[in-house]
Chain A
Amino acid sequence: MRYLLRRLGFFVLTLWAALTINFLIPRLMPGDPAIAILARFHGRLSLSALHAIEDSLGIQTTQNIWVQYVTYIGNTLRLNFGDSIQTLQPVSQVVGAAIPWTLTLVGVTTILAFCLGTGIGALAAWRRGGKADSVLPPLFVVGTGLPYFWVGMMLIILFAEVNPWLPVALGVDPGVTTGFNAEFIGNALRHAILPAAAILITSIGGWVLTMRNTMVTTLAEDYIRMARAKGLSSSRIMWDYAARNSILPNLTGFAMSLGFVVSGSVLVEDVFNYPGVGFQLVQAVENEDFPLMQCLFLLITVAVLVAVLLADVATALLDPRTRTAR
């Protein structure tokens, strides 16, 4: 299908753009971070470690920029990101350890926020003019104006001081052995509740409002009136005719807004010291661990891109109009 091919092309193009941005940023900044790093570690690192850092940054100052670029792309495609400056472990290892934490936290929470948000938005639009619609949307509008990290901090105050019921830091209590056992999973889940709540509270507003606004426009369409005329039940009209037509044009937009959710989760992880990708990113920045930083940025971007691609596939499957689109 032409549609999918176009979206795939977009995916590849944006991926390339992200890679290139990643490559260019250190070179565009005032001063030269490469030199700074080298100077910083010069006396303390073996030559091979230095080369590793140079490699991961793609900075072989002895070669011209095109060769550096190609080497960089090659390294990236082979998942060779060099070593972390902080721990001298391979970056891929560090990142690999952090991914599961973030995947569960952000993944599950986003799906939850999406489902809840679109459901609430659909209901609010359906009962337009009713009490729910006059109170809820403004509330959610306010929600979109809250900073992610502040919500996290408020939750910490609430649960650490006022009512110490949920843990406010880390992924699991120290001393709990990692693994697929009940104790670990239960403990991890408890630790995930507050960060998840912070992300949920701040991000759900966007889904609710988008869905509500699209739904309001959809409800004015003739086919809704026709469905009423046919005597269909309210719930059938709301879900099968209105909601379905409202979600479809928004699917890809929803996926694109994942970028914002991911951004917010970085801050949330930092506030809660939750050992995920975002937390690692902040640590990397604070310690000027450039190889780690670059890898994480790339990872986050790729994740969003994949989500967008999945949304495109879903749209293609669910919306018959795309099959004959231009």
Chain B
Amino acid sequence: MSRILEVRDLTVEYATPRGSVVAVESVDIDLAEGEFLGIVGESGCGKSTLLFAIAQLLTPPAAITSGSVVFQGRNLVGLTDKQLAASRWRNLSVVMQSAMNAFSPVKSIGAQFADAVRAHENWSRDRIRQRSAEVLRLVGIDPMHLKSYPHQLSGGMRQRAMIAMALLFTPELIIMDEPTSALDVVAQRSLMVQIKELQDQLGFAVAFVTHDMSLVSHFSDRLVVMYAGQVAEIGGTRTVFDSPAHPYSRGLLEAFPSIRGPKVPMTGIPGNPPELINPPPGCRFHPRCPVALAECSSVEPELYPVGEVEVRCLLHAKDGVARV
């Protein structure tokens, strides 16, 4: 399977009155055709910023200050909206967190679908309607709702309508920013199942951002754990999930109780994520890390390979052999 997305050294900064804040630092990510990549982390770790940076949807005061995003062989960074329009929606579409906010409240669903189509193709009204009805049926919504307005649909339906809209041109990559966060647990799971089914059916790749690690790990092929704007750990989901190499990932996973395992006292991760205007020296996680070494407060760790995964932790610094 070929790689459709290659993100190299991507850095995003925000201009603030107190100076510029690095929200995403030197991130490398690859995505193959049809792959499901989960991106997890706490609030404020930069995962949504990363996603929007990849899709070239940042607005001032945020901007990409270095790095490249090569999608289907083309570097998207620095292109104008006009130049990007060719790939937008046809090859790369977006699903957002709150469908209530992602749809314009004064236009019908059908009109917004039609907008997306007409921006790229010259189809007749009938053909647009046909295709819109088709994608709605794919997600299990009655096509009569094309005439409905966003506020007339239930939350779950709206979310699925958004996914349907993303499928209008059967793109190669769909970027999803916490699409399940606004739903209840049951709807969350059913939405995930639906996304996975559609993926199997249509073959698109997914980059999925969420704070709910356990939810995404059932469905993703690979997992990226982000902390304080950096990639903390990246690798196959099963490996990361079953034996997390980074103390942060371990802390995240241990915060979720297991239904079947023995009863153990829960441990959270003490402290708060750092303020990115002034990150801690050395490893950014060291103030909260239960197994920090002396040099962790002065040496900035790189991403070190450990088996199939890569970890940003000094514990794995020497030749990929875990010292602890």
Contact = CB atoms under 8 A, between A and B. Distances in A.
Interface string B86-97: 101110011011
A326 interface: no
Contacts of A227: 104, 115
B39 interface: no
A18 B89 CA distance: 56
A161 B244 CA distance: 85
Interface in B72-103: 81, 84-86, 88-90, 93-94, 96-98, 101-103
A236 interface: yes
Q: Which of A226, A228, A245, A248 has the most CB of B within 10 A?
A: A226
B89 A229 contact: yes
Contacts of A222: 96-98, 101-102
A226 B97 CA distance: 11
A48 B105 CA distance: 62
Interface in A194-245: 221-223, 225-234, 236, 240-241, 244-245
A319 interface: yes
Q: Which of B84, B86, B119, B120 has the most CB of A within 10 A?
A: B119
B96 A225 contact: yes
Contact of A321 (B57, B103, B151): B151
A120 to B, nearest CB: 21
B106 A244 contact: yes
A299 interface: no
A324 interface: yes
B244 to A, nearest CB: 33
Given A222-B98, A324-B152, A229 B88 contact: yes
A175 interface: no
Contacts of B98: 222
B116 interface: yes
A129 B103 CA distance: 26
A234 B85 CA distance: 11
Contacts of A244: 104, 106
A318 interface: yes
Where chain B touches its partner, the secondary structure class is loop
A69 B151 CA distance: 48
A31 interface: no
A229 B94 contact: yes
Contact of A129 (B60, B86, B89, B90): B60
A245 B106 contact: yes
Interface in A269-326: 318-321, 324
Contacts of A324: 151-152
Contact of A221 (B84, B101, B115): B101
A318 B55 CA distance: 33
Interface in B113-145: 115-116, 119-120
Nearest to B113: A230
A244 B98 CA distance: 21
Contact of A245 (B59, B89, B104): B104
Given A222-B96, A324-B151, A324-B152, A228 B101 contact: no
B149 interface: yes
A262 B123 CA distance: 49
Contacts of B120: 231
Nearest to A242: B104
Given A230-B89, A231-B88, A241 B104 contact: yes
Nearest to B96: A222
Nearest to A241: B104
A324 to B, nearest CB: 7
A312 B152 CA distance: 22
A318 B57 contact: no
Given A222-B96, A226-B96, A232 B119 contact: yes
A108 B317 CA distance: 75
Contacts of A245: 104-106
A221 B98 CA distance: 11
A222 B104 CA distance: 9
A230 B88 contact: yes
Contacts of A236: 115, 119
B162 to A, nearest CB: 8
A304 B115 CA distance: 38
Interface in A142-161: none
A223 B151 contact: no
Contacts of B149: 320-321
Given A230-B119, A324-B152, 9 more contacts: A128-B60, A221-B101, A223-B104, A225-B96, A226-B96, A227-B115, A229-B55, A232-B116, A320-B106
30 contacts: A128-B60, A223-B101, A223-B104, A225-B57, A225-B96, A226-B102, A226-B103, A228-B57, A228-B81, A229-B55, A229-B57, A229-B94, A230-B89, A231-B86, A231-B116, A231-B120, A232-B115, A232-B116, A233-B119, A234-B81, A236-B119, A240-B115, A245-B104, A320-B105, A320-B106, A320-B151, A321-B105, A321-B149, A321-B151, A324-B152
Pairs A-B, 3 closest by C-beta atoms: A231-B88, A222-B101, A229-B94
